[in-house]
């Protein structure tokens, strides 16, 4: 099959996605505009409209392609699973797209087309995290009466707060390696719970 026109440049696509996430993180949905994304990416507005027919489609693709997702893990131990979960959360909120991730958490329900996708993603992430704790209980690594919700709120909340409170001005990532901080957080929590 012969395609018409010039092939898309993956580097341009990456610049556009980065510009879209940066703008969304800085200005939120109310300040998100195709013209501003094009200017930040250093491309013409027509380049955006050739790729996406709306700002909703552009933001959805940028979030899907660039924002790290928290996923299910099974390392074989509760400690290993929780460390991986906390590391993923730290990478989302302390990484380059951290501000966009925070905005998404706050604004997703009000953005047409994104609300449904974000809701489904969040539901899958919550179920995966709950599965980690349930496996730990089933393996006898936690007392049977352990509150799954409270334990996850502590791990995920602790990781998010670390990401938020250790970022320097300008959104730079925290100095601490996410995996190191995750091990500290999980070690402290599991010592307390057990």
Domains of the chain (ranges plus CATH)? Answer: 10-65 (1.10.10.60), 68-193 (1.10.357.10)
Show Cβ contacts of residue 83 under 8 Å, excluding neighbours closer than 6 positions: 179, 182, 183, 186
Q: What is the pLDDT of residue 188?
A: 93
When pLDDT is cut at 50, 70 and 90, the band that residue 163 belongs to is confident
Over residues 26-55, mean pLDDT:
93
pLDDT at 99 over 80: yes
Over residues 78-98, mean pLDDT:
90
Over residues 124-128, mean pLDDT:
88
CA dihedral 169, 173, 177, 179 (to 10 degrees): 120
More confident residue, 22 or 113: 22
Token pair belonging to 150: 């409270």
């Amino acid at each position: 099959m012969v395609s018409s026109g010039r092939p898309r440049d993956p580097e341009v696509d990456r610049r556009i996605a980065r510009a879209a996430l940066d703008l969304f993180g800085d200005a939120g949905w109310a300040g998100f505009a195709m013209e501003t994304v094009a200017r930040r990416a250093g491309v013409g507005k027509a380049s955006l409209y050739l790729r996406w027919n709306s700002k909703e489609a552009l933001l959805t693709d940028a979030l899907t392609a660039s924002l790290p997702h928290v996923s299910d893990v099974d390392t074989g131990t509760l400690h290993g699973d929780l460390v991986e979960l906390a590391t993923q959360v730290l990478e989302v909120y302390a990484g380059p797209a951290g501000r966009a991730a925070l905005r998404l958490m706050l604004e997703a329900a009000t953005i047409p087309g994104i609300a449904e996708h974000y809701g489904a993603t969040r539901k899958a992430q919550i179920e995966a995290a709950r599965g980690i704790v349930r496996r730990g209980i089933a393996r006898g690594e936690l007392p049977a009466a352990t509150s799954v919700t409270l334990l996850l709120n502590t791990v995920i909340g602790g990781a998010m707060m670390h990401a938020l409170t250790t970022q320097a001005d300008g959104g730079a990532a925290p100095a601490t390696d996410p995996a190191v901080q995750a091990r500290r957080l999980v070690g402290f929590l599991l010592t307390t719970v057990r």
